[in-house]
Amino acid sequence: MALFLLFSTLTLLILLSMAVFSDQQPLLNSAEQEAVYRVLHSINSAIPWRDDFPDNLCISAPHGVVCETSSDESNGMDTETAHIVELSFGYVSDFNPNPPCSPNATFNPLLFTSFKYLRKLFFYKCFNESQVSVPDVSPSFGYTLEELVFIDNPSLVGSLSGIIRNFTSLRRLVLTGNGVYGEMPEETGNFVNLEEITLSRNQLAGELPGTLAMLKKLEVLDLSQNHFEGCVPELMGNLTKLLKLDLSSNGFGCKIPETFRHLQRLEFLDLSFNHFGNFGIPMFLGEMPRLKEVYLSGNLLGGQIPEIWKNLEGVARIGFSNLGLIGNIPTSMGIYLRNLSYLGLDNNKLEGSVPQEFGLLQFADEINLENNNLSGRVPFSTKVGEKLKLAGNTGLCVDAKLNYTKNRSTSRQLKLCNKPDIPNAVIFNGVSLLLFYPHVLFFSLGFLFVFTGL
């Protein structure tokens, strides 16, 4: 009985506190609340938003509609006001159940005129069928906006310069998998608070503006899968806080900028599938000790694989496919790259043997050496053999043990290695020196010590 009374008392106190909170919570401006309803209706007209959420949206609102109070001294008095600060649309997961978008979702122009305190605007897979154009953005909109995120909205069409306006507070600009076109405007360099620019999988073109170098806080720059061209500005080396740089699958040419050596914090570099010239693999890679992934595939850089691996112990993935590489694979790669999990050297003109030191790569999951001119014995373990790609190297051979791994499609295309012949012993002062079999040498020396009393 006492426990029941305690529980009832606690419940009453909680309800009373909620009632007090709701009374104290400032009401959302009626015009702003009406704008939210209209925007929600344009996103999904099948849901009765007004009936499901009839109360103050600062107290009860759909997930993704976030309200916040702030002080307002415009009338000479310090009063609390409530405003919408985040709008997120498009169901992501049960942990992110934003308002779902219907196939005929559209933009309501109120979105860019009614929320002057908005800090985050997020759309995920909302515009997938009928073409939707980005409405004109009011010059007065966006001064408070910190995150502008549109992900996988292929029917969303608009120029980049028409989408980003006076967003001087912007920290994240993520427009990926949309129909955004045009060039990157020079004014992008004015958004000095930007920490991330992700514009991948759009229809952007033209050359990169040198003003990008003004974004000193930038940590992520991803412009992959667009139609950019021309030379990458040397000034990009001034973006010293970059952690990720992805320019892959564009039409960039000229030489990879030597100024990239200043990107000492860089962990991810992808320049693959462009038109960078025949200048070889950049030596400055060896001066980037935090590098974990580097991809240059699909650029005819030519030359040999340089000896740059001593300070790159942290590298886990390397993509050097189809670069026009010649010469041998450096032994140093097997010595220093102990954390390597993926190595792509396929479709080059490499020759010689695969370094025996590659057999020490205990974390290697996939090694692709296809379509080169390699020869000799394959040194990999059966673990690596499961994802080992060696086809197109007629001079290579595999041991019988490796030939029976799960990856038989590759190993069966190669011949089996012959068992090595034991070389003739070289007699020198009564001791057999088996230079190529040190374990036999040590056994012989031990036997000599025992029987000579040394």
Residues 329 and 325: their CA atoms lie apart, in Å, by 10
For residue 141, the model assigns a pLDDT of 80
Give yes or no: residues 327 and 257 share one domain: yes
Structure token pair of residue 230: 């021309």
Query: Number of folded domains in the chain?
Result: 2
Domain that holds residue 447: 424-454
69 lies in some domain: no
Structure token pair of residue 407: 């990856």
pLDDT band at 138 (very low <50, low <70, confident <90, very high): confident
Nearest to 247 by CA among 212, 215, 278: 212
Average pLDDT over residues 323-334: 96
User: pLDDT tens digits, residue range 236-279?
Assistant: 999 999 999 999 999 999 999 999 999 999 999 999 999 999 99
Exposed, middle or buried by CB within 10 Å (0-12, 13-18, 19+), for 370? buried
Give yes or no: residues 102 and 240 share one domain: yes
20 lies in some domain: no
Is the pLDDT higher at 269 or at 379? Answer: 269
> Cα dist. 155→97, 134, 135, 147, 162 in Å?
22, 10, 14, 21, 16
Average pLDDT over residues 365-383: 86
85 lies in some domain: yes
Nearest to 401 by CA among 422, 416, 423, 420: 416
Give yes or no: residues 298 and 410 share one domain: yes
Is the pLDDT higher at 121 or at 417? Answer: 121
Residues 363 and 369: their CA atoms lie apart, in Å, by 17
Average pLDDT over residues 53-67: 91
User: pLDDT tens digits, residue range 386-445?
Assistant: 678 899 999 998 877 665 455 554 555 678 887 764 544 443 333 333 333 444 444 444
Give yes or no: residues 400 and 449 share one domain: no
Give yes or no: residues 356 and 336 share one domain: yes
User: pLDDT tens digits, residue range 200-228?
Assistant: 999 999 999 999 999 999 999 999 999 99
Give yes or no: residues 429 and 406 share one domain: no
> Cα dist. 268→233, 243, 295, 312, 411 in Å?
19, 6, 9, 13, 32
Give yes or no: residues 133 and 212 share one domain: yes
What is the value of pTM for the model shown? 0.84
438 lies in some domain: yes
Give yes or no: residues 349 and 444 share one domain: no
Average pLDDT over residues 77-105: 86
CATH of the domain at 396: 3.80.10.10
Give yes or no: residues 382 and 448 share one domain: no
61 lies in some domain: no
Average pLDDT over residues 290-306: 97
Contact 152, 175 (CB under 8 A): no
Give yes or no: residues 341 and 433 share one domain: no
Residues 255 and 230: their CA atoms lie apart, in Å, by 10
Give yes or no: residues 404 and 437 share one domain: no
Give yes or no: residues 164 and 278 share one domain: yes
pLDDT, averaged across the chain:
84
User: pLDDT tens digits, residue range 400-413?
Assistant: 766 545 555 455 56
pLDDT band at 80 (very low <50, low <70, confident <90, very high): confident
73 lies in some domain: no
394 lies in some domain: yes
> Cα dist. 201→54, 89, 165, 178 in Å?
39, 20, 21, 7
Residues 272 and 322: their CA atoms lie apart, in Å, by 10
311 lies in some domain: yes
